[in-house]
Homo-oligomer: A and B are copies of this chain.
């Protein structure tokens, strides 16, 4: 059995980063919202140093822009940008799954299945919808893990965060059809059967469909 991971040290900067990231992805902070350091530091009960470091990480993740002496503002959303981000996801994820499927073992399949079940839980319990991003990522990640492409994975994770700003999660967890769930299932099946081209096709149409469901934004 896999041993528990090593303890993860949590710094105030990391905690602040996670909180703010969540707020941006969920839309709590709208585009162009200015993130005032003093104000936020007080609200979170930390000093401005760890808060500034959280802002730098948000910038690195492409969620905010920082201008010297002017501070951080939430990055704008646009249809064109969404298209670019989802296109990039298709390009990278299809490349990954081609490299991953032939190397996947029963352990990989089991991990993906566990991740899928965790993801499906939020369909039943919609109040935990803030976990959508992480759980959806975990499932996708488990499919690509066997490819052993760390650098690519790091880039892709950030891409997912950015894409998730556009996604109306309610549609995906609740909807009568629940296409996302069906597609995830099919995707995993194709991986198990080693059918690379079917997996690629399903992945592409899955990402495309999620993109087609993005809503209004300003």
> Which residues of A54-77 have CB atoms within 8 Å of chain B's CB atoms?
56-57, 59-60, 62, 67-69
A side interface size, CB within 8 A? 31
The answer for the CA separation of A68 and B85 in the assembled complex, in Å, is: 31
Give the oligomeric copy count: 2
User: In whole angstroms, what is the CA distance A152 to B88 when docked?
Assistant: 8
Residue in B closest to A10 when the chains form the complex, CB atoms: B68
Cα distance A151–B56 when bound, in Å?
Answer: 17
Which of B67, B95, B151 is within 8 Å of A162, CB to CB?
B151
Per-position 1/0 for A143-169, Cβ under 8 A of B:
000001111101100000010000000
CB within 8 Å of B: which A1-39 residues: 9-11, 14
Q: Are B92 and A149 in contact (CB under 8 A)?
A: no
- Give the docked Cα–Cα distance between A22 and B49 (Å): 26
A118 CB–B CB distance under 8 Å? no
B151 touches A69 (CB 8 A): no
